[in-house]
């Protein structure tokens, strides 16, 4: 439930904006209303713990360490 003080403050602030900014606030509010937690809980994923072989995990770790967080200064 929306706190009436917050609601009044929001309406007051929106009233001070031009039309374009009011539309942006409306779009933002709508986006917030439809977004929510996605996925499943960690508890549901526990059954997968240990299902990736250790050698595969090592290969993944090595690939990440070798291929990530590197900057190619000549790229740009």
Pick from 42, 24, 20, 22: which is nearest to 32 by CA? 24
User: Which of the 8 DSSP states describes residue 38?
Assistant: -
Residue 9: inside a domain, yes or no? yes
In a domain, 43, yes or no: no
Residue 13 lies in a domain: yes
- pLDDT value, residue 27: 93
In a domain, 48, yes or no: no
Q: Which residue has the tokens 């929001």?
A: 10
Q: What is the pLDDT along the chain (76 residues), one digit of tens a residue?
A: 568 899 999 999 999 999 999 999 999 999 888 876 778 888 999 999 999 999 999 999 998 888 787 777 887 6
15 domain-assigned: yes
Residue 40 lies in a domain: no
- Number of independent structural domains in the chain: 1
Strand, helix or coil for residue 24: helix
Would 54 be classed as within a structural domain?
A: no
Tokens of 54: 């250790």
Domain that holds residue 13: 4-34
């Amino acid at each position: 439930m929306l706190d009436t003080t917050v609601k009044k403050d929001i309406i007051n602030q929106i009233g001070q904006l031009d039309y374009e900014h009011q539309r942006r606030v409306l779009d933002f509010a709508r986006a917030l209303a439809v977004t929510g937690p996605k996925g499943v809980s960690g508890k549901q994923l526990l059954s997968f713990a240990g299902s990736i072989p250790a050698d595969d995990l090592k290969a993944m770790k090595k690939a990440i360490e070798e291929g990530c967080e590197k900057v190619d200064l000549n790229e740009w």
